[in-house]
Structure formats: structure tokens, C-alpha cells
Amino acid sequence: MSHLRARLFPFLLVGPYLVVFAIFLGYPIVRAVYMSLFDWGIFGPNAFVGLGNYAALMSDNRFWDSFLTTGRFALIFVPLIMVVSTLLAVLLHRKLPGIAIFRTAFFFPLVVNVAVASIAFKWLFEPQAGTINQILRLLHLPDQSWLTEPGWALVAIALITLWINVGFMVIILLAGLENIPDDLYEAANLDGSNAVQDFFFITLPLLKPILLIVMILSLVQAFQVFGEVLIMTGGGPFGSTEVLTMLLYEEGFRNFAIGKAAAIGVVITIIIAALSLVQFRVFRQR
């Protein structure tokens, strides 16, 4: 009897998580796949189309434009948040008086609602009265049309997404830094290394597993960005910020092509899973 309990105990521990996963993640994914196989309108399925929605996406120029826009956003956002969060984590890891206050300050944006943050940043980026352009004027630099210029709009959205999410990434990296023994730095200092050498030859190599997690989470965030785009640009100007989630919203909630919207959601899920798998393999080989 005791042997049976020992075998069942791990399943009892994992059971609650599996139930939550099945309800809030597993079922929605299965449901989305099912809906994507139908011509699904606002009143329910009209006809079974099989892979017809996916074939329609493959021949839709708007889908490919949104895919490329999402890729461009990921190329801006992922390296940016990895560099910024790593540098902040290293600075906040220092044992200085009052450092806990700064750690809390960087975590605070994570609890701010995306809609509130997006509205606030929209005011900051306003061309005439916005704080950012006022600072540029004080520095005798030219104003920028941050949200109405195709070249700058995606960068502006990346900056607000960075502001919202950097605190969470910093916490993950701080946990990794806590596991690096101080003895390694002391031994390196005895050999004459400086702070820069410590960072590149001790900190970064030992943080590699944590950096992989940060990279994957950032990539997932990049492909799921939506609220910032909807509020700040609505996909404009001229479709330059219409990411895949924005296209999903347009098809599902404005055109009521719910089957096609479900197909877009499935494609986003597959892309995220594939990119995450590639990153895992690359890091494991290294």
C-alpha cells in the first residue's frame, strides 16, 4: 500500500496543474484547431472546409504582410529587452543601500494595465505636446512623428512593450545571478580581471540557461503583442504595425470570419512552438 502511495504521490502533485492546463490552455487550443476547419460565422459553423482557411491565408497578401511586420517587431523587441534586462539585472544585483526600492520600481510597470500604459505612452509620443518631442526640442533635435510615421511606429510600440515587460525579465535574471557563486568573481579579481571581463567571461556564460528562458518568453510576447498596437496605432499608419494578432482581431471581431481568425491563432501557436524548439536545440548544442 505504501509503495502504491509513493507511486501516486507525484501524480497528485502534478494533477492540479494538469487540470488548470487542460481547462485554460489545452481546451482553447483544441477548440481553435476545430473552429479553424470550418467556415465559422457569428452564428456558428456554416460548412466544413478542412484546410481551406489555411489555404486562404497562404494566398492572402495581408497575412504575409502581417507576418513580416510581426517578424520585424520581434527583431526589434527581443534583442532590446534581452540587453536592457540583462544590464539592469546586473546593476540591481549589486548590494547597495536602498537597492530594494529600485528593484520594486522596475517591477512596478508589470502591474500596470496594458491599456493604461498604452494611453499614457500615446500622450508621451504626441507630436506637438508630447513629452518626448519636447525633450528633443530642448536638445535642439528634430521632432519625430512617432506614431504616424511608418518607420517609427513599430519602434514606439517596442519601447512601450519593453517598459511593461522588462521588470519580469529582470526578476528572472536576478534569480539566475543569485546562483552564481561570489567565489568565482573573487578568484577572477585576484587574477586581475575587471568588471567588464567578469561580465563577459563569468556572468554571461553562467546565465546562458536563464537567457534562453528570457529569449523564449520575449519571443512569445513579441508574437502575442496586441493591446499596445490596438490602442496606440490601430495597425497603422498604412498597415505598418498590423501584426498577426491585429489581423486576427480584424478577421474575428470586425469581419466575423471566426474560422479564419482561429486559423491565424493556430499559425501563431505553431510559429512560437517552432521558434522555441529551434532555440532550445541551438543552446543545447552550444
> Is there a contact between 31 and 269 (Cβ–Cβ < 8 Å)?
no
pLDDT in tens, 8-41: 777 777 778 778 877 877 888 888 899 999 988 8
The domain spans of the chain are: 65-285
In degrees rounded to 5, what are phi and psi of residue 46? -95, -40
pLDDT greater than 70 at residue 108: yes
Which CATH code for domain 65-285? Answer: 1.10.3720.10
Conformational region of residue 113, where left means phi above 0, alpha means psi within -120 to 50, and beta covers everything else: beta
Burial of 35: CB neighbours in 10 Å, binned 0-12, 13-18, 19+: buried
| Residue 230, pLDDT score | 93
| Residue 107, pLDDT score | 78
Cell 517587431 maps to which residue?
Answer: 73
| Of residues 189, 182, 199, the one with CA closest to residue 83 | 199
| Residue 285, pLDDT score | 58
| Residue 146, pLDDT score | 86
H/E stretch holding 20: helix 2-21
| Residue 102, pLDDT score | 74
Other beta carbons within 10 angstroms of residue 172's beta carbon come to 15
pLDDT greater than 60 at residue 1: no
What beta strand segments (E) does the chain contain?
Answer: 38-41, 44-48
Q: N- to C-terminal Cα distance for the chain?
A: 46
pLDDT in tens, 178-234: 888 888 888 888 878 888 888 888 888 888 888 888 888 899 899 999 999 999 998
pTM: 0.86
